[in-house]
């Protein structure tokens, strides 16, 4: 009986240590898939939270069918409709800050000016869930919650 208790305590202690070592605030603590494999996907926007306020309906009112494709090779495509125009942005992505951030570097855009590079803090990175956070000049945090399309 003592052996079972020792094994249980050892497993529980290991789980507690793993929880403290996880890279992203919302998880996971451990994954069998690499970070690159988990981020490479076709993502649709589920939620946009700006300054703690759900701004999803406002955002999707302007940017319809917002889709992000991230490839394992480090390229990305963002597509959406804006005021009747189909917009496609392409460029490259890379992990930054010890794989805690996702940096995107735009190269082309089909409508408007090419945006500046952006860095997003990875909040959650699962195979079927990606949460990113960015901070703007006014200090407001924006969280983007994605799921596979």
Note whether residue 21 is domain-resident.
no
26 within a domain of the structure (yes/no): no
Residue 37 within any structural domain of the chain: yes
Tokens 């952006």 locate to: 118
2 vs 73, which has greater pLDDT? Answer: 73
In a domain, 8, yes or no: no
Quick one: how far is CA 90 from the chain centroid?
17
- Assess whether pLDDT exceeds 50 at residue 6: no
Considering the domain boundaries, does residue 114 fall inside one?
yes
Q: Can you give the CATH number for the domain in which 141 is found?
A: 2.40.128.540
Total structural domains within the chain: 1
Residue 96 belongs to a domain: yes
Q: Residue 102 pLDDT > 60, yes or no?
A: yes
Instruction: Classify residue 120 by burial, with Cβ atoms within 10 Å: 0-12, 13-18, 19+.
Output: buried
Print the domain residue range for 37: 31-148
- How confident is the model over 42-80, as pLDDT tens digits? 999 999 999 999 999 999 999 999 999 999 999 999 999
Evaluate whether residue 17 is within a structural domain: no
């Amino acid at each position: 009986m003592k052996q079972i208790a020792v094994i249980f305590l050892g497993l529980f202690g290991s789980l507690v240590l793993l929880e403290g070592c996880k890279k992203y605030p919302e998880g996971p603590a451990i994954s069998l898939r690499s970070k690159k494999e988990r981020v490479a996907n076709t993502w649709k926007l589920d939620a946009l939270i700006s300054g703690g306020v759900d701004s999803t309906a406002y955002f999707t009112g302007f940017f319809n069918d917002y889709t992000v494709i991230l490839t394992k090779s480090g390229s990305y495509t963002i597509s959406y409709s804006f005021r009747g125009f189909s917009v496609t942005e392409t460029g490259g992505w890379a992990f930054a800050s010890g794989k805690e951030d996702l940096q995107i570097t735009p190269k082309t855009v089909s409508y408007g000016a090419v945006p500046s590079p952006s860095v997003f803090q990875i909040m959650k990175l699962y195979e079927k869930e990606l949460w990113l956070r960015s901070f703007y000049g006014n200090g407001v945090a924006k969280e983007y919650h994605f799921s596979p399309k």
